[in-house]
Amino acid sequence: MDELFQSSGTPSNWALRLKASTAFLRHGGKRILDLIYPPACLACMAATGEIGTLCPACWNEVRFIERPFCERLGTPFVQDLGPGLLSPEAMANPPVFQRARFVARFEDGPARKLIHRLKYGDRLEIADALGLWMARAGRDILSEADVLVPVPLHRRRLLARRFNQAALLAAVVSRHTGVPSDPFALERVKATPPQVGLSRLQRAQNLQGALKVPEAAQLRIGGRRVVLVDDVMTSGATTNAAARALLRGGAAQVDVLVFARVVQDG
């Protein structure tokens, strides 16, 4: 060790050189990986300049949800009529959760491809990009949050898929915001049939009693402001059921952060 210090001057100089060498190796390693696995668009696999991004064509096809939107449901307005407005749907059928925020519409395009490749194609690295965009889209609710809680899968589905995409997204959002994620604060205690093809009422009935806060987790979320995290929202039945379970478990408030939302135009 003395020889190392003597050869480099002072301990501080040695540390600086070590840091520079580490950075060089990291940069060189990235260049080698780029040669072996050239960066490709996460949606269409076209060549890109960086890993973990979309190509310009796919980026332009994503229908991002930005203001103006309903402050409660997060659904977009056609025109801006001023801040703080609620949609007719939010006033007629208020959700159990307080506010919802989304990145994009769940259309037949890049957003749908990204979700499907994450969930069914074992492309777990896609969660890094989606989680970063979610952290940006939900910055207002995340700034007030105490804990992130991903929507859980039933253990049978978790065993079949081997991972919970909502938990992956929550972990990435946590990394970018510093808000802790608690993947065990909510449990799906009842295996439910797929929601595809069901009406809004049938979806709600399908989820009755399916979610709960385990007794051991009630102390962790009691009195706390929770942001519920998921990949896609269709009718809102799952998020409403999850929010209701969290409030019954002691949460002070529940907001929702989801990557994509099915939006009915007109």
Dump pLDDT digits (tens) for 130-161: 999 999 999 999 999 999 999 998 888 777 78
- Nearest of 185, 88, 114 to residue 145 by alpha carbon: 185
Quick one: average pLDDT of 116-137?
Answer: 94
Q: Which two tokens stand for residue 212?
A: 């709960």
User: Residue 170: which of 118, 128, 107 has the closest Cα?
Assistant: 128
pLDDT digit string, tens, across residues 33-83: 444 568 999 999 999 988 899 999 999 999 999 999 999 999 999 877 777
C-beta atoms surrounding 244 within 10 Å: 18
Distances in whole angstroms, Cα of residue 211 to Cα of each of 91, 96, 109, 126, 189: 26, 14, 31, 27, 6
CA–CA gap between residue 246 and residue 242 (Å, rounded) = 6
Per-residue confidence (pLDDT) for residue 156, from 0 to 100: 83
The mean pLDDT of 79-103, rounded to a whole number, is 90
Read off the pLDDT of residues 207-264 as tens digits, 9 standing for 90 and up: 777 899 999 999 999 999 999 999 999 989 999 999 999 999 999 999 999 999 998 7
* pLDDT, tens only, 172-203: 999 999 999 999 999 998 776 665 655 666 66
* CB 257, CB 151: distance < 8 Å: no
Cβ-contact 124, 163 below 8 angstroms: yes
**Sorting pLDDT into bands at 50, 70 and 90, what band is 25?**
very low
Neighbouring-strand partners of residue 149: 228
What pLDDT, on a 0 to 100 scale, did the predictor assign at position 13? Answer: 56
CA–CA dist 229, 79 (Å, integer): 28
pLDDT the model gives residue 17: 53
CA–CA separation, 26 vs 52, rounded Å?
A: 17
Q: What is the C-alpha to C-alpha distance for residues 216 and 5, in angstroms, rounded to an integer?
A: 52
pLDDT tier for residue 16 given thresholds of 50, 70 and 90: low
What local confidence, expressed as pLDDT, does residue 79 receive? 77
